[in-house]
Amino acid sequence: MATRSNHHVCYVVPPYMLNAIAESSHNEDRIRESARHALSLHKSYCEKREKRFAALCAPRGSKTTNVHRQQGIVPDHMLQHIAENEDVDDDTRACAKRDLEHIRGIHAKYQETQGLHAESSDQKAGIAAEQASKAVEKTYRAVYDANHDSNEAHLPGKVVRVEGQKASKDESANEAYDNAGLVLSFYADIFNWKSIDNKNMHVISSVHFGQNYENAFWDPEIAQMVYGDGHDFLTNFTGCIDVIGHELTHAVTEHTSPLDYMGQSGALNEHVSDVFGIMIKQRVEDETAENADWLIGEYCLMPGVKGVALRSMKAPGTAYDDPRFGKDPQPAHFKDYRLTLEDNGGVHLYSGIPNKAFYNASVAFGGYSWEKAGKIWWETMRSGQIPSRCTFIQFADVTVDKAQELFGEDAATIVRKAWNDVGVVRRS
């Protein structure tokens, strides 16, 4: 693992795995020290994510709601690059030119009105950003090369491939580009959701981050994916569609039902990302709920590691058992839930409990997981009934209600049983 000088730390790799690596005498000193460094940064990273979701959940008009609204706009320089690039297909180039002209026209009108109205400059900028975002009718992807630089201030790096451009010689860049497209097509085709924010937000990725960096993460402040190349234990992050689906879903959660990144609501935040990540993987591999393996990060582990994935939704706690990693600690039942101060209240640890409930429901319904269970979970996140500090039982209740609305009483019974079987039970 590469050491890092800023406040971001590992995200795909959960902190309990890092802690096990740091404490295991089976690992070399350099590996243990790298894991300790990542753990020391984990707290500040989680605080940043917690603050972001707190801002998203704050009352309207509050100062804490100043989230980066302009991130929905495709940057002018990116659109210009696409519009002028001869390697980009004609249709995409024409779309980029149209959107670039429209956005610049909106910005020009905004500048003309400066000082003529009572709104603050921030408010006017927000209005202009929203108008420009609505003008973009196409989602644009771009992949950059971080050139093994671990300083996030230097991201995204040098452009490698943009929307409509042919494959590059960089296989990691092609995987990041193609798999981001698969995630976007899943949300568009299955849920009629346009990109991350339902407004065709651009999707930027940087590959080759850091030296032998064994992780990947979604950076919520600069709104982009970041991929390391991996090293001793973990690798192939750009090739793991479920991991990419998981990370990009964190951004979707910001635009549906923001869940505080702490305790049970934080575990639900992680759970929702696993749910949509696994459905995307199953769609790509054309697997029904019954036939799927339900493994998250299945292709991240290097050969020789005693394990099958980072997590198992079918059987939490069984994904790996390696002296260098320890044993997968995720519980599968609420009876094993304990209050903890670590990992923001166990957000990665206890996501296994609702994960198992989703698996139960999907298998009980049969067919593809997104046809019924997935649709119920999606409508739950879109319902406006999920509080920012949602508990497991509150989330379960809404899924039962949505199952009733969408598919009737029998479906509601199936979903309630799925939660009951993991110990998330409605008390009289």
Active-site positions read 247, 348
User: Within 13 A of 67's CA, how many CA atoms are on the CB side?
Assistant: 23
207 phi and psi, to 5 degrees? -110, 170
- Strand 203-207 and strand 224-227: pairing? parallel
Sequence-distant (≥ 6) Cβ neighbours of residue 192 within 8 angstroms: none
Residue holding tokens 């039982």?
Answer: 393
Three-state SS string over the chain comes to CCCCCCCCCCCCCCHHHHHHHHHCCCCCHHHHHHHHHHHHHHHHHHHHHHHHHHHHHCCCCCHHHCCCHHHHCCCHHHHHHHHHCCCECHHHHHHHHHHHHHHHHHHHHHHHHCCCCCCCHHHHHHHHHHHHHHHCCCCCEEEEECCCCCCHHHCCCEEEEECCECCCCCHHHHHHHHHHHHHHHHHHHHHCCCCCCCCCCCEEEEECCCCCCCCEEEECCCCEEEECCECCCEECHHHCHHHHHHHHHHHHHHCCCCCCCCHHHHHHHHHHHHHHHHHHHHHHCCCCCCCCCCEECCCCECCCCCECCCEECCCCCCCEEECCCEECCCCCCHHHCCCCCCHHHHCCCCCHHHHHHHHHHHHHHCCCCCCCHHHHHHHHHCCCCCCCCCCHHHHHHHHHHHHHHHHCHHHHHHHHHHHHCCCCCCCC
Q: Please tell me the distance from the alpha carbon of residue 213 to that of residue 304, in angstroms, as a whole number.
A: 19
